[in-house]
Amino acid sequence: KKLIPIILLSLSHIVIASDADHDFNIIEVAEGNYLHKGIHVSIDDHNHDSIANIGFIVGERCIAVIDTGGSIDIGMKLLKKIKSISDKPICYVINTHVHFDHILGNKAFVPDNPEFIGHENLAAEVEQNRIFFLEQFKDGLGPNPSASSIISPDILIDKPTQLDLGNRIITLTPFPVSHSHSDLTVMDNKTNTLWAGDLIFRERIPSLTGSLIGWIEVMKELSSLKVELVIPGHGHVAKSMPIAIKQQRDYLYRLLDETRNSIE
């Protein structure tokens, strides 16, 4: 039988996206917001470097990249797509947290000289994980992997911070320990599009390296946000926050309740 790819339509692009062929898809999910939707494979799969949702926001002055993928190769593919869509400079590379699938593509953007931005804990977490990344993911760090292949943030965010991309304000919000110790979100205020990073998983069991109780509290905070579109760290975009968080909220509460029951 022939595989029939799914055709995704946006206002200005037609992209063929299929988990079968692992094409590097890009779609404009909201005006000026471009998403590469990660594929659902295991950490042992050879395409594990492309499991995260990553992308970029285009302003009139410059571009902000939101996460860069799990290898320098994925970062290069994202960079190539950006330059095919816009000739504006890349002023910011924002990492939503420390996990490899969101940060190891940073090196691809160094020649463009952006400011690398992350949670106030991100630099320390990168240092703590540098050897681990080199040991576990060296195949994704270029021909001569070294400590310098892993790029740490220049700017650390400890409170909600606004950046102007040119007639487009984005708001970066850091959160306390939850999914990880370095989670932040990016809100495009012009379209009310929230890039949630791994604070929200869809269609995939959430990974947890922070605090289960902390994550449940953060989800309560997220649920109060008024958004038009939610881009999770993994899975399909959602047109409302209740839709985006329902399955994950149910899962985390069940995990908490059954763990407490087992301990008791």
Q: Give the span between the Cα atoms of 108 and 110, in whole angstroms.
A: 6
Two structure tokens written together for 35:
């998403």
Contact partners, residue 47, CB within 8 Å, separation at least 6: 22, 39, 41
Q: Give the span between the Cα atoms of 174 and 159, in whole angstroms.
A: 6
β-bridge pairing 14-17 and 155-157? unpaired
83-119 confidence digits (pLDDT tens): 999 999 999 999 999 999 999 999 999 999 999 999 9
118-162 confidence digits (pLDDT tens): 999 999 999 999 999 999 999 999 989 999 999 999 999 999 999
pLDDT tier for residue 50 given thresholds of 50, 70 and 90 = very high
Q: What average pLDDT does range 76-88 have in this prediction?
A: 97
The pLDDT score that the predictor gives to residue 5 is: 37
Q: Is the pLDDT of residue 232 over 50?
A: yes
The pLDDT score that the predictor gives to residue 7 is: 29
Share of the chain above pLDDT 90, in %: 88
- Sequence length of the chain is 264
- Other CB atoms within a 10 A radius of the CB of residue 161 amount to 14
The pLDDT score that the predictor gives to residue 262 is: 97
Two structure tokens written together for 241:
């926050």
Q: Give the span between the Cα atoms of 23 and 255, in whole angstroms.
A: 35
The pLDDT score that the predictor gives to residue 24 is: 87
The pLDDT score that the predictor gives to residue 14 is: 33
Q: Give the span between the Cα atoms of 253 and 66, in whole angstroms.
A: 29
The pLDDT score that the predictor gives to residue 19 is: 39
7-37 confidence digits (pLDDT tens): 233 333 333 333 333 478 999 999 999 999 9
